Chains A and B, each alone.
Chain A
């Protein structure tokens, strides 16, 4: 990280903590430097920033969030902040040609990084998360040794609802649950439903 990115990351951390507290609640597992995929509900663009801020410093540097390429590279600033500060992995939301949309994630996992994934694919506006997309299943199948950690992000949609520009201070927290494993012959739909309910179960803790 160059000094600009480091300054930005410190400023951003202070700002996020002042607005939301960005509290991490390690409910089902301790924060640990092993290769993990954190998967969480997605209600706001700020989700990415919040989960990044909630992780401890040591884990933040080895954990890369996934960012939608069309949104986060739209302006030079967004592009810079996601690549230099968050070290994000970009994915295409729309499939183009026969390119595998998971290829950048696979590359990141192969190089030993942990990932933050929002398996709904897009921001939801309902109480419950939308059905999960199959990316999580495919990654779990290909990387059986990577630990899958469900997480629930509380309250972020209240900080900055869609269409607003000024964030409002509301306490937010990220609850990390017990790691789950893909069964040996578990079907795709079963696994995705189980993952979704593991995320939703953390809402009430």
Chain B
């Protein structure tokens, strides 16, 4: 088995990875359909329909399909397309973020700058592998440029608050997310062509951590910050970290890491992702909405895209830089 895997070319290895991934998702979906059929025959007496648990499961499944598809397209079509794809996701989540952060007329030009200059520039920097500029472009240059444009609009009302919101939106939705495709372009010695594994490693580890945390939290009372999140407990958080870390070290063979390094990297990514998710929840509570997306009360009941990628937005930069410092790339 091992020698069979070794003998495959990097492309074949990645292809096999996706085949396994989609196979698992397919199995889970079939299980979901069977469960929903059973529930239709025995409807829940309280809700009269699908139980919240099954709904959660199906939401998670949709989420995973979406992510897997995005990564597959990104890998199959090459680095360029992956960067454009993540740029598009950035655009959509920034749109959701801005929609729920009331802006004033004076912010218009800053918003134009954020969407049509900052966002494309950041992804262009990833594309051209200007890693030094790409890590400081937003925190240093854009940090100054946005408030200058806002100040020129001559509207002092709630100035700090409006600019802080915009800065935050750009940091999370553009800066954070742009670190995912940047992983594709890191050059590890003897690991060329297989950076997709590193992206996969990051995503699967963070998602597993979130999932375990969510499942464990259901059995616990007394959340740490009940006004912000009903499901955040230190115990469930540690359980999530443990699961993510163990999975990370188990997957070390896919990555350029040794098992101990993989464990450390997975823990770093999980801690950043799950805490970042908590922070985004706090912002949602501040705006009084349960989900991002169309005014937070979409008729379809679907939550926004930002709900699905927020953990990744926080995990990716931390993971990216940890990898770069550790391996001096």
Interface string of A91-134 (1 = CB under 8 A from B): 00000000000000000000000000000000000000000000
Please, which residues of chain A bring their CB within 8 A of the CB of B96?
Answer: 171
Contact A168 B299 (CB under 8 A): no
Please, which residues of chain B bring their CB within 8 A of the CB of A161?
Answer: 105, 108
Contact B111 A168 (CB under 8 A): yes
Interface residues of B in 277-297 (CB under 8 A from A): 293-295
Please, which residues of chain A bring their CB within 8 A of the CB of B295?
Answer: 154, 171, 173
Contact B99 A171 (CB under 8 A): yes
Interface residues of B in 83-134 (CB under 8 A from A): 91, 94-96, 98-99, 103, 105, 108-109, 111-112, 115-116
Could you tell me the distance between the alpha carbons of A185 and B112 in the complex, rounded to whole angstroms?
Answer: 51
Using C-beta atoms within 8 Å of the partner chain, give the interface range for chain B.
Answer: 10 to 19
Most buried by B among A23, A26, A154, A171: A171
Q: How far is the CB of A197 from chain B (nearest CB, A)?
A: 21
Contact B116 A166 (CB under 8 A): yes
The residue in chain B whose Cβ has the minimal distance to the Cβ of A165 is B112
Is A179 at the interface (CB under 8 A from chain B)?
no
Is A158 at the interface (CB under 8 A from chain B)?
yes
Is A135 at the interface (CB under 8 A from chain B)?
no
Please, which residues of chain B bring their CB within 8 A of the CB of A23?
Answer: 294, 298-299
Q: How far is the CB of B178 from chain A (nearest CB, A)?
A: 17
Q: How far is the CB of B289 from chain A (nearest CB, A)?
A: 12
Is A35 at the interface (CB under 8 A from chain B)?
no
Could you tell me the distance between the alpha carbons of A2 and B96 in the complex, rounded to whole angstroms?
Answer: 36
The residue in chain A whose Cβ has the minimal distance to the Cβ of B96 is A171
Query: With A155-B99, A169-B98, A170-B99 given, is the CB distance from A21 to B294 under 8 Å?
Result: yes
Query: With A25-B299, A155-B99, A161-B105 given, is the CB distance from A168 to B112 under 8 Å?
Result: yes
Interface string of B31-57 (1 = CB under 8 A from A): 000000000000000000000000000
Could you tell me the distance between the alpha carbons of A155 and B101 in the complex, rounded to whole angstroms?
Answer: 12
B contact patch SS: helix
Please, which residues of chain A bring their CB within 8 A of the CB of B112?
Answer: 166, 168
Could you tell me the distance between the alpha carbons of A26 and B116 in the complex, rounded to whole angstroms?
Answer: 32
Is A58 at the interface (CB under 8 A from chain B)?
no
Could you tell me the distance between the alpha carbons of A155 and B103 in the complex, rounded to whole angstroms?
Answer: 10
Contact A164 B99 (CB under 8 A): no
Could you tell me the distance between the alpha carbons of A21 and B299 in the complex, rounded to whole angstroms?
Answer: 13
Please, which residues of chain B bring their CB within 8 A of the CB of A164?
Answer: 108-109
The residue in chain B whose Cβ has the minimal distance to the Cβ of A155 is B99
Contact A169 B115 (CB under 8 A): yes
Contact A169 B95 (CB under 8 A): yes
Could you tell me the distance between the alpha carbons of A160 and B111 in the complex, rounded to whole angstroms?
Answer: 11
Please, which residues of chain B bring their CB within 8 A of the CB of A154?
Answer: 295
Could you tell me the distance between the alpha carbons of A173 and B295 in the complex, rounded to whole angstroms?
Answer: 9
Query: With A155-B99, A158-B103 given, is the CB distance from A168 to B115 under 8 Å?
Result: yes
Could you tell me the distance between the alpha carbons of A173 and B299 in the complex, rounded to whole angstroms?
Answer: 11
The residue in chain B whose Cβ has the minimal distance to the Cβ of A157 is B105
The residue in chain A whose Cβ has the minimal distance to the Cβ of B103 is A158
Please, which residues of chain A bring their CB within 8 A of the CB of B115?
Answer: 168-169
Contact A171 B294 (CB under 8 A): yes
Please, which residues of chain B bring their CB within 8 A of the CB of A173?
Answer: 294-295
Interface string of A13-39 (1 = CB under 8 A from B): 000000001010111000000000000
Could you tell me the distance between the alpha carbons of A170 and B91 in the complex, rounded to whole angstroms?
Answer: 11
Could you tell me the distance between the alpha carbons of A154 and B294 in the complex, rounded to whole angstroms?
Answer: 10
Q: How far is the CB of A74 from chain B (nearest CB, A)?
A: 23
Could you tell me the distance between the alpha carbons of A72 and B25 in the complex, rounded to whole angstroms?
Answer: 52
Could you tell me the distance between the alpha carbons of A168 and B323 in the complex, rounded to whole angstroms?
Answer: 36
Interface string of B231-270 (1 = CB under 8 A from A): 0000000000000000000000000000000000000000
Contact B108 A168 (CB under 8 A): yes
Could you tell me the distance between the alpha carbons of A25 and B299 in the complex, rounded to whole angstroms?
Answer: 7
Residues of B within 8 A of A (CB): 91, 94-96, 98-99, 103, 105, 108-109, 111-112, 115-116, 293-295, 298-299
Residues of A within 8 A of B (CB): 21, 23, 25-27, 154-155, 158, 161, 164, 166, 168-171, 173
Q: List 4 A-B pairs, minimum CB-CB distance, nearest first.
A: A171-B99, A168-B111, A169-B95, A161-B105
| Interchain residue pairs with CB less than 8 A apart (30) | A21-B95, A23-B294, A23-B299, A25-B299, A26-B299, A27-B299, A154-B295, A158-B103, A161-B105, A161-B108, A164-B108, A166-B112, A166-B116, A168-B98, A168-B111, A168-B112, A168-B115, A169-B94, A169-B95, A169-B98, A169-B115, A170-B95, A170-B99, A171-B95, A171-B99, A171-B293, A171-B294, A171-B295, A173-B294, A173-B295
